[in-house]
Amino acid sequence: MTLYEELKARGLVAQITDDEIIDVINNGKATFYIGFDCTADSLTAGHFMALTLMKRLQMAGNKPIALIGGGTTMIGDPSGRTDMRKMLTKEDIAHNAACFKKQMEKFIDFSDGKALMLNNADWLLNLNYVELLRDVGACFSVNNMLRAKCYEQRMEKGLSFLEFNYMIMQSYDFYYMFQHYGCNMQFGGDDQWSNMLGGTELIRRKLGKDAYAMTITLLTDSQGKKMGKTAGNAVWLDPNKTSPFEFYQYWRNVGDSDVMKCIRMLTFLPLEQIDEMSTWKDQRLNEAKEILAFELTKMVHGEEEAAKAQNAARALFSGAAGDAEHMPNTQLSEADLTDGSIGILTLMVKAGLAASNGEARRLVVQGGVLVDGEKVAAPTVSFTAEQLSKGIVIKKGKKVYHKVSL
């Protein structure tokens, strides 16, 4: 099976500019890039598709360029957005870029020139605006840009001229790297198609040469929502923002209808094994979810952390709280107690399980809070210093576990 056939079989290929791409990547002739704007100080589970794709392509002999968007982050990608992105300072962007580099090295081999890591701030921030308009602006049709899908949602509430320039900046990245680094291909999410075509067209018009683009399928659940978020918050690759246990639990709890798709698209398990697993039903789906969670946690946090997370999750699933040391935890002090005890509502707020006492009260009243496997009977329940010194495990809803101790 060729690389392209495997990508198709895994459901990764969305659109390609032309069939020449197939030969290029199958024979290891691609020097390709994927861009990562530095909007936070950690990559998320939403970046998994791009990171694993880069790894697959590199394993087949192609050369990746991980492009850190130090320049484009100063504008903000409007794709899929209903509002304008928060404007970050140069210092924030530089810090975020440094964090990205550490995490990418777990997926991509940068040794001996096998891959490059570039920052588009190095060329975008030095551009002269009038020269750029004369040199590049004439190659873009405003009519075509306004029809681009990446601007669709922003057009409803008002697209700023700042964001309107994003397509030109991304296209210029491809044009610049084509000339200076021999980059002949760009990969990205399917919502980036218009921006990517802008780059191939700019190269064709300015240099008279062909460059290629391929989009990968966005990772969505059975309801069509992007995966990689839990309770409205991102699932981070940084263990200080999302612990290995929480990371494992996120993938362990994906829907039955989503688990095989995630295994096929995100893991490196052989397709023959995945095809066999796709026949599993009922209880065996839980086994498939464990495999998914373990494989992805191992990829991000290492095999030892993955094993710890799996053991802790299994212990909790069986009703035991003995292996709670690897789950998220909050350490209280005597100052947090009032007359030697603390109420469940205050406890949940301090543990970050509720934003306010009111929210915590609603969860308790609705029967959604358990402590050491027992449902909390009333919002007036409190816990003594003696109970907390042994450590308690709070379960919120079906999936969120948290250890609290004194």
Q: Which residues are annotated as a binding site for L-tyrosine?
A: 33, 166, 170
Instruction: Confirm if 148 and 175 have CB atoms less than 8 A apart.
Output: no
Of 190, 108, 100, 114, the residue nearest 149 (C-alpha): 190
The rounded distance, in Å, linking the Cα atoms of 319 and 24 is 53
Name residues whose C-beta falls within 8 Å of residue 164's C-beta, 6 or more positions apart in sequence: 145, 151
Burial (CB < 10 A; 0-12, 13-18, 19+), residue 217, is middle
Residues forming the annotated binding site for ATP? 229
Angle at 29 between CA 28 and CA 30, to 5 degrees: 95
CA nearest neighbour of 42 among 300, 329, 399: 300
Please list, in sequence order, all residues whose beta carbon lies within 8 angstroms of the beta carbon of residue 131, skipping any fewer than 6 positions away: none
Token pair in block for residue 141: 């049709």
Task: Tell me the binding residues.
Answer: 33, 166, 170, 229
Taking each helix axis from N to C end, the angle separating 283-301 and 244-252, rounded to the nearest 10 degrees, works out to 150
SS3 403: strand
Distance between CA atoms of 348 and 337, rounded to whole angstroms? 13
Give, as one character, the DSSP assignment of residue 42.
S
* 16-21 LR contacts (CB < 8 Å, sep 24+): 16/212, 16/213, 16/214, 16/215, 17/197, 17/200, 17/212, 17/213, 17/214, 18/212, 20/210, 20/212, 21/185, 21/212, 21/214
Instruction: Name the E strands within 203-325.
Output: 212-216, 229-230, 233-234
